[in-house]
Amino acid sequence: MLAMQIDPDTVQFYLNNPYFSPALQTIMVEALESMQEVANRALLLKVSLQANGPEMARTITEITTMTAGYNKNIEPLKKLSPVGRIVYATARDGNVVVLFPADHVLWTEKVADITTWLVETEKEQNKKSAGFQLWILGDFSQMAQAGLEKAGWKFHPAAQKKLFPAQKKILR
């Protein structure tokens, strides 16, 4: 991780988090290494510092591997940025991408707020984005699909096959 120029204090805090097993650490570091050209990839390690249980450690590791899979198999990513307690990616073509290992997404006030905030923020900062995408491992409720469409988002359920075409399963 130090070779990736990640802050030594961040690395130490990450390595000392008891919820990241050596297996999860190996998977996460390998995913980070595969994203050498992605600006701010260390943000994923910073996000991992909030893991306060094994499930959260696994979720953050899955976000990291999904992000690496998108970068490798869908389109190259340019940078990572924070949103809430997770990250979103901006692809080189301008697409704004959120990758999350959810089993089922409902259209809640929080989901609506985050998707609206991202659209407004990106349009304000970049004046023009290629599009907005949400990739998950599971599926979306009909209401979530309608809400995302209305907000201008493309949604990608069961994304594992596209993100990891050579694999059967990730972590789950």
Q: pLDDT (tens digit, 9 = 90+) per residue, 51-107?
A: 999 999 999 999 999 999 999 999 999 999 998 888 999 999 999 999 999 999 999
Give the per-residue pLDDT at 2.
Answer: 83
Average pLDDT over residues 150-170: 87
Which residues have CB under 8 Å from 5's CB, separation 6+?
42
- The single-letter code of the amino acid at 21 is S
Domain-embedded: residue 143: yes
> What pLDDT, on the 0 to 100 scale, is given for residue 60?
96
**Position 51 in a domain:** yes
Q: What is the pLDDT of residue 171?
A: 53
- The full DSSP string for 96-147 is EEEEE--SEE---HHHHHHHHHHHHHHHHHHS--S-EEEEESSEE-HHHHHH
Q: Is residue 91 part of a domain?
A: yes
| Alpha-carbon gap, residue 46 to 38, rounded angstroms | 15
> What is the value of pTM for the model shown?
0.92
**Structure confidence at residue 156 as a pLDDT band (50, 70, 90):** very high
Model confidence at 172: pLDDT above 80: no
**In this model, does residue 3 exceed pLDDT 60?**
yes
CA distance 153 to 112: 11
Higher pLDDT, residue 26 or 122: 26
Tell me the CA distances in angstroms from 47 to 10, 41, 63, 85, one per residue in order: 10, 11, 10, 7
Q: How many domains does the chain have?
A: 1
| In a domain? residue 171 | no
Q: Is 168 within 8 Å of 99 (Cβ atoms)?
A: no
Position 172 in a domain = no
pLDDT value for 125: 80
> Is residue 25 over pLDDT 90?
yes
Task: Write the pLDDT tens digit of every residue in 101-150.
Answer: 999 999 999 999 999 999 888 888 876 667 999 999 999 999 999 999 99
d(CA 86, CA 74): 20
Pairing of strands 132-136, 104-105: unpaired
Report whether 18 contacts 52 (CB < 8 A): no
State the pLDDT at residue 126: 72
For residue 121, the model assigns a pLDDT of 86
Q: Is 170 inside a domain boundary?
A: no
Identify the pLDDT of residue 55.
Answer: 96
Tally helices (H) and strands (E) across the chain: 7, 7
Domain interval for residue 33: 2-163
- The reply to whether 95 falls in a domain is yes
